[in-house]
Each structure stands twice: as structure tokens, then as C-alpha cells.
Amino acid sequence: MIKIGGAIVADDVALAACAEDVASLARAGARPLVVHGGGPQIDAALRARGAAIAHADGLRATDDVTVEVVEAVLCGPVRARVVAALARRGLVAVGLSGRDAGWLVAEAVQGRVGRPTEVCAELVHRLVERGHVPVVAPVFVNAAGEALNVNADTAAAAIAVAVGAVGLVLVTEVGGVRERGGGSIGELSTSAASAAIAAKVATGGMIPKLDAAIHATRGGVGRVHVVGPRRGELVAALRGARRGTRVLAG
């Protein structure tokens, strides 16, 4: 399972590096599944509409207007870029959100921010069995079929646990988790990751990212890394090499 941050999707070089890696995983017989974010793109669309942008503990404050923009942007231009980048490398990339077949279900925690409650993995199982690469926008639905905004890292972890993924690689521009002084951290136990959030070493988008890494690790996903968008990085991490920041049980 590979999660690509929005800033990477926006960057041709970084996106190409990730797409090359996903293609080499597929060639090696792995069954890659991709989830993408879209933070900067959603911010730009909200700004263009004159809508407010606010975050709390790294999660986007989401009301009825925001969730419409989130879905339009993620399931529109952002996903199109990811699917195109993979298709250029010969992959059959299939874009979908939780709305398709109603496979990603969440409950609202605040406004239209969702917490995943159900992942019906059947749909993606069928796709990966055929050699297709699902490209997932983290838009979930509630029981009434309304869209809920789930952080992309949170979504990737929930899906990784549900499908029994061997690894979860969160690809982000910063390339890993940094200490307060700026040095990069090679390994973090789940308890140290929680402590980093509590001590405010990890702030903003790094909070849901570490929470996702903790959730995946505790849910039995073996190789959980936060890495940068360099060619070879995510392949190496999924093969067990030391790359970026690895989150381990403990």
C-alpha cells in the first residue's frame, strides 16, 4: 500500500519517481494499491471560492461546502494526474473513491470529517487480482451515502489493515519524521510515535500520519515507513530496507 501526498502529486518529477516505483513493484509481482492526498490542491480550490481553510490537530475542518470541494478536487484533477502517471508506465490504473460501490464507510466525528468504520475490500481484491492498480481518493460515505472527508493517511492505514497489506509507505515531501532540532528519525516505536505527538514534535499533517502509522503497525501491517519521493525509495522500504522513518511495534 502506497500513499502519495498532495504536494507530490502536484510535482511532475516527484510523481514520476513514485509512479516508476509502483510500476517496478507491479512488474515484480506485488499487487500495489495507491491512495493519494491533495492538501495543497484543496487549499487552492477553497481559496478560489473564497471559502475558509482551517485545521485542527492536522485534520481539515470540513463543512458541507468544504466536503464538496474536497470530493471534486480529489476525484477530479488530482486523481487524474496519478492515474495518468501510472498509465504512462504501462499500468492499468483504476481511480475510485469510497463512493464507488460504497466500499469505504465512515462515521462523522465533527462536521463532515469522517472516521473509517468499514472497508469492503472485495472490490479492490478483484481489481488487484486482475493486475489493475486501484488509485483511491479518500472520500468515504456515511450510512446515508453522503461524502465524508477522511485524511488520506488515515484512509490508507484503514485500507492497509483491511486488505492485510504487507507494508504501508507514506510518501511525503519532507521525506520522514524529524526531531525538534530538524534531524531525521530513522526508527520510531509506536509508543515513541505517540510521545512525539504528545510532545508536539509532530504537528499539523504529521499527527494523522503518525496515528495512521501506529494504527497500521498495531493492525499487523509489517513495513510501515514515511519516506520521500525519490526513485527507489518506496520499493526499498517495502523490501525491508532502512528508508525514511520506519514505525515499529513497541
Shortest distance, position 168 Cβ to Mg ion, whole Å: 14
Nearer to ligand ATP, 161 or 188 (CB): 188
Residue nearest to ligand ATP as judged by C-beta position: 37
Euclidean distance between CA atoms 70 and 61, whole angstroms: 11
Euclidean distance between CA atoms 217 and 48, whole angstroms: 38
> Would you count residue 82 as binding ligand ATP (CB under 6 A)?
no
> Would you count residue 230 as binding ligand ATP (CB under 6 A)?
no
Touching Mg ion, residues 198-217 (CB under 5 A):
205
Name the DSSP class of 102.
G
Nearer to ligand ATP, 40 or 122 (CB): 40
Shortest distance, position 172 Cβ to ligand ATP, whole Å: 3
Binding-residue pattern over the window 147 to 176 for ligand ATP, x denoting contact by CB under 6 A: -----xx------------------xxx--
Residue nearest to Mg ion as judged by C-beta position: 205
Nearer to Mg ion, 205 or 244 (CB): 205
Shortest distance, position 136 Cβ to Mg ion, whole Å: 15
In DSSP terms, 178 is beta-bridged to 184
- Amino acid type, 225: H
**HEC string of 121-177?**
CHHHHHHHHCCCEEEEECEEECCCCCEEECCHHHHHHHHHHHHCCCEEEEECCCCCC
Euclidean distance between CA atoms 22 and 2, whole angstroms: 8
**Which of Mg ion, ligand ATP, none has residue 178 at its interface (CB below 5 to 8 Å by kind)?**
ligand ATP
> Would you count residue 206 as binding ligand ATP (CB under 6 A)?
yes
> Would you count residue 78 as binding ligand ATP (CB under 6 A)?
no
Euclidean distance between CA atoms 206 and 210, whole angstroms: 6
Euclidean distance between CA atoms 234 and 171, whole angstroms: 8
> Would you count residue 37 as binding ligand ATP (CB under 6 A)?
yes
How many chain residues interact with Mg ion (CB under 5 A)? 1
Touching ligand ATP, residues 178-197 (CB under 6 A):
178
Residue with cell 505517540: 194
Euclidean distance between CA atoms 233 and 154, whole angstroms: 21
> Containing H/E element for 4?
strand 2-4
From candidates 201, 216, 224, 237, binder to ligand ATP by CB under 6 A: 201
Touching ligand ATP, residues 89-118 (CB under 6 A):
none
Shortest distance, position 36 Cβ to ligand ATP, whole Å: 7
DSSP structure string for 41-99: HHHHHHHHTT----EETTEEP--HHHHHHHHHHIIIIIHHHHHHHHHTTT--EEEEETT
Residues that bind ligand ATP (CB under 6 A): 5-7, 37-39, 152-153, 172-174, 177-178, 201-206, 209
Residues that bind Mg ion (CB under 5 A): 205
